[in-house]
């Protein structure tokens, strides 16, 4: 009984003291706490970067409204000319704007993650191809004695290069498709998101170009058509960079876009020089292996001049000498020109800016002239003429003798 009574007294005292404390609130403190919570919520809103952050903020705004709704008059007096309602409306409006921002941020984050994954996948595939190419190069070097095996390895190496080219072209097409038409607002958002990337597409382009330069410098046992494919790839890459370089560097290398563009330009130039060091010799060798000795050349124009000079000289020779050998030379060149140069090298000549359509057409026309000159002229007419002349003379002599008789 005593215990129950004591508990009751304690409860009453606790309740009474709670009521007293509850009643004794400082209006000043209330409005100060409101201000502090308001500012804290605005900070949370400003710093929110995820939907989870905003969910918490939304709960805090609701709690603020519930907690201070009964103190509206005090707060209105304290924050005049602002009001309790205007502050809450302000929070809701900030919250709404933040929701949109966060949605944009999350969308960008997704895009960045997606891009990161794609770039990583691309890097891995490229690394695998490069590793395979290095293995093949090593095997080619080790198999110089075995001609049959060597031929197979070189073929594999070529296929590897071709596959790599197609893979890179796919990557460039993808970049073109994604970023060719981005508006300035999206570009700004991408720029912000790109700061999170460890390695940007522009970095990857530099890596790819660096590998291309190595390929061109170190490749061995490649034929003219392989270098022509490289040249075509270089032209494709250069055109891509001309159209997209500025946009990509402005997005992905916003701190130093000019420097970044210059680095890529230098790599493209190095790649072109590395190809040029090999391609003209390879083309010349290819013609020579088919008994066509062209003048030396080290540029596309010089190559065309060498072709023209060869055909022109051969035509003149055929006109002057009209030997069977001249016809044979014509046939050899014509066959190589049509079956290998035009048929196999085909588009790479044009896309690689080695020869133009007009230049090929011009060589074709000159070949027509050479063909006419090379075909040996027939003596039948002369023989018939001599026979006819002999018959006429014979007849005249016969008639004269008959007259005398």
Q: Where do contacts with other proteins occur on this chain (CB under 8 A)?
A: 17, 20-21, 23-29, 31, 73-74, 77-78
Please answer whether residues 217 and 274 qualify as being in contact, where contact means their C-beta atoms are separated by less than 8 angstroms. Answer: yes
Between 28 and 385, whose beta carbon lies closer to other proteins?
28
Which of residues 37 and 319 has its CB atom nearest to other proteins in the complex?
Answer: 37
Closest C-alpha to 333, from 362, 367, 301, 302? 367
Burial 123-158 (b: 16+ CB within 10 A, else e): eeebeebbeebeebbebbeebeeeeeebeebbebbb
Instruction: Give the shortest CB-24-to-other proteins separation in angstroms.
Output: 4
Q: Which is nearer to other proteins, 74 or 194 (CB)?
A: 74
Q: Give the tokens for residue 259.
A: 């420097």
Question: Residue 31 or residue 260: which is nearer to other proteins going by CB?
Answer: 31
Tell me the two tokens of residue 346: 């085909």
Q: How far is the CB of 17 from other proteins (least distance, A)?
A: 7
Long-range contacts of 63-70 (CB under 8 A, 24+ apart): 64/34, 64/37, 64/38, 64/88, 64/91, 68/30, 68/34
Q: Which two tokens stand for residue 396?
A: 């005249």
Rounded CA gap, 92 and 94, in Å?
5
| Closer residue to other proteins (CB): 45 or 74 | 74
Least distance CB 37 / other proteins (angstroms):
17
| Closest separation in Å from C-beta 16 to other proteins | 10
Other beta carbons within 10 Å of 90: 13
**How far are the Cα atoms of 26, 133, 155, 222, 290 from residue 147, in angstroms, in the given order?**
98, 19, 12, 14, 20
- Find the shortest distance in angstroms from Cβ 33 to other proteins: 13
Q: Which is nearest to 192 in space by CA: 105, 92, 121?
A: 105
Handedness of CA 382, 383, 384, 388 (dihedral sign): positive
Residue 96's contacts (CB-CB under 8 Å, 6 or more residues apart) are none
Which is closer to other proteins, CB of 76 or CB of 366?
76
Q: Nearest approach, Cβ of 18 to other proteins (angstroms)? A: 10
The closest of 24, 52, 57 to 38, measured between CA atoms, is 57
H helices present in 195-256, as ranges: 201-218, 224-252
Cα angle value 298/302/303 (rounded, 5°): 85
Using the minimum distance from each CB to other proteins, give the nearer residue, 73 or 293: 73
CB count in 10 Å sphere of residue 272: 20
At closest approach, how far in Å is the CB of 77 from other proteins? Answer: 3
- For residue 80, the minimal CB distance to other proteins (Å) is 9
CB of 13 to other proteins, least distance (A): 12
**Beta carbon nearer to other proteins, 25 or 51:** 25
Q: Which is nearer to other proteins, 38 or 271 (CB)?
A: 38
């Amino acid at each position: 009984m005593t215990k129950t009574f004591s508990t009751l007294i304690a409860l009453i005292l606790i309740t009474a003291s709670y009521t007293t404390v509850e009643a004794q609130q400082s209006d000043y403190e209330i409005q100060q706490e409101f201000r502090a919570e308001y500012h804290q919520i605005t900070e949370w809103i400003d710093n929110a970067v995820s939907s989870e952050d905003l969910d918490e903020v939304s709960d805090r705004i609701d709690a603020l409204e519930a907690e201070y709704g009964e103190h509206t008059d005090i707060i209105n007096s304290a924050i005049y000319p602002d009001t309790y309602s205007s502050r809450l409306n302000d929070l809701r409006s900030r919250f709404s704007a933040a929701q949109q921002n966060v949605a944009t941020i999350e969308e960008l984050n997704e895009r960045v993650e997606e891009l990161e994954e794609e770039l990583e996948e691309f890097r891995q595939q490229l690394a695998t191809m490069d590793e395979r190419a290095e293995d093949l190069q090593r095997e080619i070097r080790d198999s110089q004695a075995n001609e049959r095996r060597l031929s197979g390895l070189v073929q594999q190496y070529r296929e590897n290069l071709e596959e790599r080219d197609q893979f890179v072209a796919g990557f460039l097409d993808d970049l073109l498709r994604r970023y060719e038409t981005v508006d300035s607002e999206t570009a700004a958002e991408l720029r912000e998101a790109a700061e999170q990337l460890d390695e940007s597409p522009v970095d990857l382009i530099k890596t790819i170009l660096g590998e291309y330069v190595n390929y061109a410098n170190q490749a061995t046992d490649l034929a003219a058509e392989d270098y022509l494919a490289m040249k075509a790839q270089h032209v494709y890459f250069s055109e891509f960079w001309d159209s997209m370089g500025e946009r990509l560097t402005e997005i992905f290398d916003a701190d130093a876009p000019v420097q970044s563009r210059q680095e890529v330009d230098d790599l493209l130039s190095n790649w072109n020089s590395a190809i040029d060091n090999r391609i003209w010799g390879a083309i010349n060798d290819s013609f020579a292996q088919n008994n066509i000795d062209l003048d030396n050349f080290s540029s596309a124009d010089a190559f065309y001049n060498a072709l023209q000079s060869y055909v022109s000289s051969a035509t003149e020779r055929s006109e002057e000498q009209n030997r069977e050998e001249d016809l044979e030379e014509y046939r050899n060149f014509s066959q190589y020109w049509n079956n290998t140069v035009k048929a196999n090298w085909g588009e790479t000549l044009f896309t690689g800016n080695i020869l133009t359509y007009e230049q090929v057409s011009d060589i074709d026309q000159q070949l027509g002239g050479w063909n006419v000159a090379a075909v040996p002229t027939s003596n039948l007419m002369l023989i018939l003429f001599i026979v006819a002349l002999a018959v006429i003379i014979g007849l005249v002599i016969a008639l004269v003798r008959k007259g005398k008789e």
